[in-house]
Amino acid sequence: MEFSPIFKLKSTKIIAFLALFFAFSTVNAQNDVQPHEEMPEQISEDGEEVDINSFILHHIADAHEFHFFGEGEGWKGLHLPIILWTDNGLTIFSSKKFQLDNEGKVVAESNGQYFTRYHNKIYYASEEMVHGSYLEMETAADGHHEVLNAKPLDFSITKNVFTIFFSIIVLCVLFIGVANSYKKREGKAPKGFQSLVEPIIIFVRDDIARPNLGYKYERFMPYLLTVFFFIWFNNMLGLVPFFPGSANVTGNIAVTMVLAAITFIITTVNGNKYYWAHIFKPHVPWWLYPLMIPVEIIGMFTKPIALMIRLFANITAGHILVLALISLIFVFKSVAVAPASLLFVLFISLIELLVAFIQAFIFTILSALFIGMAIEEHH
């Protein structure tokens, strides 16, 4: 079997480019509450009530730190860099600077400027604000709060961004090594990691690319392999607890949106005349054109939207289910339910291992299907 068209170095360049694209797509796509920020207590002062929503959202959302264990000032984790473009130019400091002061305000000072963080968004805070109210808030009629403070441009390395860079480095190292192995051992049996990934590569080629793309499959193999291994690897990373690099990357809709957008761009750019004729000159009576043409145009966009939402929803739902099962211990306020709760968590975690692969497969095969529809020859 020949794999040289698949493992040319250009495929690793595609991986590196996509990783950078994905990483910066997550900038400001943050909704988490930080370990040092004001957040609803999980257990009230009387020890009776548990805020399950805050507990779950806190663990699945993006953040400026990896939180391993512990609460309050004694928590353990990894602080990530805050990178801001401010009125005074570039400012870089550790997220560790965002500490609660004596009045319970989350503030940080860098290069003579004050910043505050609220629901994982970073805002300017003047010295007067720090000594008074660190945020200027406006309450809308529906009860929602709107922050009036100005925001610097935020290019911070969050958990998702860090994990994307980490995954891309690992994938590049592994697959450059596999590509070199094929060059050095041409015509020989696979060895080491090469023998582990070859069945998966054959699976992507023979069960995803060839059936949907026909004889043109080699042209799109670098992208299909890239997106398949990127999604699968990050799905698996998201299941590893207490690890710097374990983040809910594919459960972040900003990441899945960029992945779907790349599939949409490849599909649109490679669409042939038959593809566009099907959209703008559908095989229906002419008097149905005013109805069918808008439907076909809308269909161009609903396909990548379905890709985006399917991956995001399935991965996020799995994490929420595991955390909800763990929370049963606090809901029933008894350790007696712990064995059953942990048993269900173990069962769902095993299912998530399967879902991690299935979701990578589904995204890849649908991408191949959409591209195949765009390049299909007229019969």
Domain end position, chosen among 156, 179, 203: 156
d(CA 361, CA 356): 9
For residues 372 and 189, the model is more confident at 372
User: Among candidates 94, 100, 131, 92, which has minimal Cα distance to 118?
Assistant: 100
The sign of the dihedral angle between the CA atoms of 367, 370, 373, 376 is negative
Query: Does 322 reside within a domain?
Result: yes
Packing angle, helices 253-270 and 217-237, rounded to 10: 180
pLDDT of 46 over the 80 cut: no
For all residues of the chain together, what is the average pLDDT? 80
Question: Which pair of structure tokens corresponds to residue 190?
Answer: 């696979």
The sign of the dihedral angle between the CA atoms of 281, 286, 289, 291 is negative
Query: Does 17 reside within a domain?
Result: yes
pLDDT of 185 over the 90 cut: no
Question: Which pair of structure tokens corresponds to residue 118?
Answer: 């609220």
User: Among candidates 36, 137, 150, which has minimal Cα distance to 96?
Assistant: 36
Query: Does 269 reside within a domain?
Result: yes
Query: Does 40 reside within a domain?
Result: no
Residues 87 and 212 in one domain: no
Give the model's confidence band at 261: pLDDT under 50 very low, under 70 low, under 90 confident, else very high.
Answer: very high
Say how far residue 213 (Cα) sits from the centre of its chain. Answer: 27
Here the contacts of 109-112 (C-beta below 8 Å, separation 24 or greater) are 112/88
> So what's the pLDDT on residue 30?
37
pTM attached to this predicted model = 0.81
Q: What spatial distance separates the first Cα and last Cα of the chain, rounded to whole Å?
A: 30
d(CA 348, CA 342): 10
- The neighbour count for residue 105, using CB atoms within 10 Å, is 19
Q: Residue 189 is part of which domain span?
A: 9-25+160-375
Tally of structural domains, the chain: 2
Query: Does 39 reside within a domain?
Result: no
Give mean pLDDT, residues 113-121. 82
Give the model's confidence band at 266: pLDDT under 50 very low, under 70 low, under 90 confident, else very high.
Answer: very high
Residues 208 and 357 in one domain: yes
Query: Does 45 reside within a domain?
Result: no
Q: Which helix (H) or strand (E) holds 193?
A: helix 193-203
> So what's the pLDDT on residue 141?
60
> So what's the pLDDT on residue 373?
92
Residues 233 and 331 in one domain: yes
Residues 125 and 244 in one domain: no
How many helices (H) and strands (E) the chain has is answered by: 11, 11
Residues 70 and 172 in one domain: no
Residues 56 and 141 in one domain: yes
Q: Which helix (H) or strand (E) holds 106?
A: strand 106-110
pLDDT of 306 over the 90 cut: yes
Find residue 335's DSSP bridge partners. none
Torsion of CA 319, 162, 255, 358, to 10 degrees: -50
Query: Does 123 reside within a domain?
Result: yes
- The three-state DSSP-derived secondary structure of 276-325 is HHHHHCCCCCHHHHHHHHHHHHHHHHHHHHHHHHHHHHHHHHHHHHHHHH
Domain end position, chosen among 122, 138, 156: 156
Tell me phi and psi for residue 283, to 5 degrees: -85, 70
Residues 240 and 340 in one domain: yes
pLDDT, one tens digit per residue, over 125-139 is 877 777 667 777 777
d(CA 65, CA 79): 5
Find residue 114's DSSP bridge partners. 109
Query: Does 104 reside within a domain?
Result: yes
Question: Which pair of structure tokens corresponds to residue 355?
Answer: 């879902």
pLDDT of 358 over the 80 cut: yes
Domain end position, chosen among 156, 173, 197: 156
Give mean pLDDT, residues 280-307. 90
Residues 190 and 124 in one domain: no
